[in-house]
Every structure is written in C-alpha cells, then in structure tokens.
Amino acid sequence: MAIQSLQQLFSRDLNKLRSEIEAYQNESNIWIIDQKISNSAGNLTLHLIGNLNTYIGAEIGKTGYLRNRELEFSAKDIARAELINMINATIHTVQKSLDLLKEEDLASEYPILVFKEKTSMEYMLIHLATHLAYHLGQVNYHRRLLDK
C-alpha cells in the first residue's frame, strides 16, 4: 500500500515538473538566474533527475546510473525537449525501481549512508518525495516570477 502511494506521489510530482517546464513561454527563461534566485528551473530539474536516478534508480533499481552532481548545477541551455525526455525517463525509472520493492522492504535499512545515521528504506523514500515537492515549488515560483 505505501509503495503504491509513493509511486503515485513521485509520478504526480514528476508529471507536474514536466508541465512546469512545458509552461515556460520563452524556453531560454528556464535557465534564468536573477536577483537572489540562485538556481534556474533547468538546474533544479537536472538536480531532481540526478537525485532520483541515484537514490532510487541506481540503489533500488540497480540501473547503473552514475551521478555528476556538479554538472546538475553548472550545465546550461539544455533544450526543453531534452529536459522533458529526461523527466519522462526518470518517471519510468522510479516506477520500475519501486516495482521491485515489497512492503516489508520499507522497514529494511537503506543500502547506503546518505545522512549522518543510517535510515530505513521508507524514511529515504519519503525524504526523496518531499525533496522533489520542495524543488517543484521552487520551479513553479521561478516560472511565475521570471517568465515574463
């Protein structure tokens, strides 16, 4: 039951991320950094893609994904269509990876140390869902503020 709920939440928010990127009237505005906004919507999107492909795809789904976190924040001007393809691929990876879990797996220890102390699989997945929602809100605000 919890895994199905997590799948629905990840799917909902990644689809909303795709919708936000599609909603920019001017594609180049995806990459704007202005005033005290330190990350563009494009870089936040790359960060979310890297985060989910690392902690769900590579660790749970065993996809072999290798993260370049620095590039998530330094890359610029990736075409909107490519970002959308990356989001779509991440939706697929998250769903397929979570399909591998059983409810009892949620109580098991997450396979790698991410925080100061080990956590359960359930805690890590909830953390990832809230992390996605947090940055999704930033992307929405970025679009409404800077896509004039």
Render pLDDT for 125-148 as a digit per residue (tens, 0 to 9).
999 999 999 999 999 999 999 887
Q: Model pTM?
A: 0.96
pLDDT in tens, 21-63: 999 999 999 999 987 888 999 999 999 999 999 999 999 999 9
CATH of 2-146, one of 1.20.120.450, 3.40.190.10, 3.60.15.10, 3.40.50.970: 1.20.120.450
pLDDT in tens, 75-99: 999 999 999 999 999 999 999 999 9
Angle separating helix axes 2-23 and 80-99, nearest 10 degrees: 180
| The predicted structure's pLDDT at residue 100 | 98
Nearest-angstrom CA–CA distance, 24 and 130: 24
